[in-house]
Structure 1
Amino acid sequence: METVRRWAWAWVVAAVAAVAAVALGALSGCGQIVLPPMDGETARKAGEHRERQAELSRVAGWMTGSFSSRAQAWRDREFRDIRLHAVRIWPNRNDGVWLYVEQAEAERPTRPYRQRVYRLRIQDNGLIVSDVLTLPGEPLRFAEAWKDVSRLGGLTPADLTAKPGCEVVLKRTADDLYEGGTVGEGCASELGGAAYATSDVRVGPDGLDSWDRGFDASGKQVWGSVKGPYEFRRIVP
């Protein structure tokens, strides 16, 4: 990424120099603007960067919107009817795609049990990483902010707290499918006597499957579904 930026910056500097030279020539009544061409390697790197960013936007679009596990809950009473809402925030930032995310039981939409900010970014190897960050203070004051992101007020990334080790790493496994999860046992959790938590995720155009579990120090599962992931399907307005 940094190499592409350096090459692109060098091209911009050369272009500005060319414009300046022509402008001086224009004062004497001659010259036209001719931008210097990118060399082959720079053009290739720039093209790859654009492709990666387009792919990141595509996956972020899959993860944005309102989703429900209602159909799964009807089939299997081991699963609850959960609503998941994700909306993009800070769209003008260039350090990834930022999402505000809520999860709540269908009958208690104003009392979400999970509120997070995700920062999606794509690596040079094509892997998509979802950083997980928590909100400051009492998160419930932002409940249902997905309906109106202005309620997040002056919140900035500097106000958030990252959860190291809880990043979800996604790999493209089919044209319309990304799969992955957390890595190892590095996502600390104290919920329900847990020592660490894991997340396994599948993302596609119609929704996402998410399997969040907590384990104690001996590796015994202490919270989360024991049967498999929650299946969140997009709610069509």
Structure 2
Amino acid sequence: MGNDSDAGGGGGIVRGLVLKAIVLFGGVLLFKRLRRSTTRWDHARAVADALCGDKFSWEQACRDPDNYFNLRMLACPATEMLDGSRVLYFEQAFWRTPQKPFRQRLYIVKPCPKESKCDVELSSYAIRDIEEYTNFCDRPKDQRPHDEEIIEDIAEHLTTIHLSRCERGKRCLYEGSTAPQGFPNSWNGASYCTSDLAIHKNGEVHTWDRGYDEEGNQVWGSKEGPYEFKPNRNSREDILPLNFSSTGSLEKKIEGSFVLKE
């Protein structure tokens, strides 16, 4: 009887040691996973992925039709640079006329330099042969410009936004802006322009582009706040597009720029 007790006790000790080993091993793995830092390229990929997709400002236009139009923002991967930077095609159009974008750009998304305080650098470029890119994302890949052509069509550098990971507790994932002095812009009497961008956890992208004259007066862009673009999760066919009574004239008015409210 004493032997049976000893044997049982020995087995319990072994089981206890095995259980402790499993818990300790699992704890080490969890600790390593929690300690694993996000790399600079992880941030760049996250921003590029978040920008891609079909997004609309229709909810904001419904709430405040006097200050916001119902716009479609569309972005998709175009190609990749030799250094790993991602190139995105980006366009904006009125909800009712997506086939006629009024703004077309190529974005280059890459990590900020190591010496910088930001995480991701988002640069906007004009497109050399812009007609070849209209509705780029909606076309089959074999009907799009090839990778080499896309690289060659990256033209004038327009703006660069420096994004940083949002602090814990905020709604956003990344946010940032251009430098305070902005970038040269001569549209509609402007001397320079600035851009702010925020990427939210629910897939929203908030953008705020504004142009200023030499005296610092705003001459184009929304004055009430950023545009709020939300992912296209449902059909919009049953939504009444607001402030589109003069779509044709508005398209001419904002051609070549992102003029939302003067």
TM-score range for the pair, normalised by the shorter chain length: 0.7 to 0.9
**Which residue matches 2:31?**
none
How is 1:22-171 mapped onto 2 (pairs within 5 angstroms)? 51-77=39-65, 78-91=67-80, 93-123=82-112, 124=114, 125-137=117-129, 139-148=130-139, 149-154=141-146, 155-163=149-157, 166-171=159-164
**1:221 is matched with which residue: 205, 218, 222?**
218
> Alpha-carbon deviation of 1:157?
1.8
One-letter amino acid matched to 1:129 = E
Cα pair distance change 1:196/1:150, threshold 3 Å: farther
One-letter amino acid matched to 2:44 = L
Relative contact order: is structure 1 or structure 2 higher (C-alpha 8 Å, sep ≥ 6)? 2
Question: Normalising to structure 2: TM-score of the pair?
Answer: 0.66
Contact in 1 for aligned 2:88/2:106 (Cα 8 Å): yes
Contact in 2 for aligned 1:177/1:203 (Cα 8 Å): yes
How is 1:135-214 mapped onto 2 (pairs within 5 angstroms)? 135-137=127-129, 139-148=130-139, 149-154=141-146, 155-163=149-157, 166-174=159-167, 177-205=173-201, 206-214=203-211
Q: Secondary structure in 2 aligned to 1:80?
A: coil
One-letter amino acid matched to 1:169 = H
One-letter amino acid matched to 1:236 = R
Q: Which runs of 5+ in 1 are unaligned?
A: 1-46
One-letter amino acid matched to 2:50 = W
Looking at structure 2, the residues matched to 173 and 54 of structure 1 have their Cα atoms a distance apart, in angstroms, of 15
One-letter amino acid matched to 2:152 = A
- Structure whose alpha-carbon radius of gyration is higher: 2
**Which residue matches 2:233?**
236
One-letter amino acid matched to 2:123 = D
Give identity over the alignment, percent. Answer: 28
Q: Which runs of 4+ in 1 moved over 2 A?
A: 91-95, 123-126, 148-152
Looking at structure 1, the residues matched to 101 and 63 of structure 2 have their Cα atoms a distance apart, in angstroms, of 23
Looking at structure 2, the residues matched to 94 and 152 of structure 1 have their Cα atoms a distance apart, in angstroms, of 23
Q: Deviations over 1:164-206 (max 9, x none)?
A: 5x10111112355111111132411111111111101101241
State how many pairs are aligned: 188
Looking at structure 1, the residues matched to 142 and 183 of structure 2 have their Cα atoms a distance apart, in angstroms, of 31
How is 1:7-18 mapped onto 2 (pairs within 5 angstroms)? none
One-letter amino acid matched to 1:182 = T
> Alpha-carbon deviation of 1:97?
1.3
> Alpha-carbon deviation of 1:141?
3.7
Cα pair distance change 1:234/1:174, threshold 3 Å: farther
Looking at structure 2, the residues matched to 168 and 128 of structure 1 have their Cα atoms a distance apart, in angstroms, of 8
Looking at structure 2, the residues matched to 140 and 67 of structure 1 have their Cα atoms a distance apart, in angstroms, of 22
Question: Normalising to structure 1: TM-score of the pair?
Answer: 0.73
Cα pair distance change 1:150/1:101, threshold 3 Å: farther
